[in-house]
Amino acid sequence: MGGIAIKNTPVPFFIRPITTRVAGGIRTNYLDPNFDTTFSFLEGQLKTSPGGGKYLCGSNLTAADILISFPLIAAKGRGGLLPAEKYPLLRAYVDMLEEEEGYKRSIAKVEEVDGKFSAMI
């Protein structure tokens, strides 16, 4: 995700081609392959969840689901980073996590304290 921020950082016009190329190289050669490896692993984990469960470790929500929810929800918020066509189970899983009552309460609490909520990292 860092390559995206670098690419959109304001820089003098004569330096922009360099930063754009560096950011594109970072994304293409490092970030995208790592995202693909991680997302493919999680997609496979959901396919083989114990007892046919809807969560990573079975039919109950666990700390593993809560911890992985933060980066996955942020990835979903970054358009195109977590495409439903490539990762249908993972995308449905993230949608389901966002509908969890505890998640909704936590967002409401953040908005109460901070006035806004952003899943972007």
pLDDT score recorded for residue 2: 46
pLDDT score recorded for residue 22: 79
Query: How far is the first Cα of the chain from the last one, in angstroms, to the nearest whole number?
Result: 8
Percent of the chain with pLDDT over 70: 89
Confidence tier at 119 by pLDDT (50, 70, 90):
low
Rounded to 5 degrees, φ, ψ at 58 are 135, -150
Confidence tier at 1 by pLDDT (50, 70, 90):
very low
Confidence tier at 118 by pLDDT (50, 70, 90):
low
Task: Judge contact between 51 and 58, C-beta under 8 A.
Answer: yes
| Least confident segment among 13-22, 68-77, 91-100 | 13-22
Amino acid, single-letter form, for residue 8: N
Spatial CB neighbours of 15, under 8 Å, sequence gap ≥ 6: none
Confidence tier at 81 by pLDDT (50, 70, 90):
confident
Alpha-carbon span 51 to 21, nearest angstrom: 46
Percent of the chain that is helix, strand, coil (3-state, to 5): 65, 0, 30
24: which 2 tokens? 């594109």
59: which 2 tokens? 């039919």
pLDDT digits (tens, 9 = 90+) for 86-117: 999 999 999 999 999 988 898 888 888 887 76
pLDDT score recorded for residue 29: 82
pLDDT digits (tens, 9 = 90+) for 48-59: 999 888 999 999
Alpha-carbon span 23 to 4, nearest angstrom: 7
